Homo-oligomer: A and B are copies of this chain.
């Protein structure tokens, strides 16, 4: 199987085959972690960086009143805590939402890259900065968009991210998330998320099917939210910058009846 980190990074960086080999060498031995378990906890001072290879994880914080906030979804190819060594300790926790395979990369291996493979180091920094860009967009979303658009925007984003990781197949978006977790992500109550999903389905924009989401017409969903993928800083998927190579296969894009 492909390395999702390489697939992702090559969407925003030019990597030589030597670079790719370097990355592949970093990400060899996997650990399996069951669902719903902390990978890193608040206050930890980890000396290794975790890379999600399969499954879905999230960053989260819990408030005193047990309110919880999910601040990021970590899909295959995402790094959990790049350079946490610099800032000292984790100010939040990371846990699995499904069973995950992760790779632990020693901090020192990453540090060495900046001298031995600056191009790879640069690509890793790119991924960090991109995570920050996503965070900003989430803040806008929660602060200024109504419920329907919050959810819809998240789905658009995930579609593009999963596509960039080469993980969309059969026109279905992986979405192994409970409504409660979704609520904690978009800043709504569980019950209102339920009603919101019902509305989205009723408008034929998107609906949950098993542990996936079906989006019959992505461009219509994007139009609905005013989605602008430029904050993802990646090429392809009908974005502004054209790529010479083929885009990833996506089907049912033009079905668009309503």
Contact = CB atoms under 8 A, between A and B. Distances in A.
A159 interface: no
A83 interface: yes
Name the residue in A71, A129, A145 with the highest tally of chain B Cβ atoms < 10 Å from its Cβ. Answer: A129
24 contacts: A59-B136, A61-B136, A61-B140, A67-B144, A69-B143, A83-B129, A86-B129, A87-B126, A87-B129, A87-B133, A89-B233, A91-B133, A91-B136, A91-B137, A91-B231, A91-B233, A114-B114, A132-B135, A135-B136, A138-B139, A139-B139, A142-B142, A143-B186, A143-B187
A23 to B, nearest CB: 17
Name the residue in A12, A59, A63, A114 with the highest tally of chain B Cβ atoms < 10 Å from its Cβ. Answer: A63
Contacts of A64: 226
A130 interface: yes
Interface in A208-258: 226, 230-231, 233
B132 A71 contact: no
Name the residue in A69, A89, A186 with the highest tally of chain B Cβ atoms < 10 Å from its Cβ. Answer: A69
Contacts of A187: 142-144
A122 B86 contact: yes
Interface in A156-190: 186-187
A122 to B, nearest CB: 6
A67 B87 CA distance: 34
B133 A71 contact: no
Contacts of A136: 59, 61, 71, 91-92, 135
A51 to B, nearest CB: 18
Nearest to A130: B87
A126 B130 CA distance: 17
A64 to B, nearest CB: 5
A166 to B, nearest CB: 21
A88 interface: yes
A59 B136 CA distance: 10
Given A69-B139, A114-B114, A187-B143, A63 B132 contact: no
Contacts of A137: 91
Contacts of A88: 12, 233
Contacts of A138: 139
A125 B59 CA distance: 21
A139 B71 contact: yes
Nearest to A64: B226
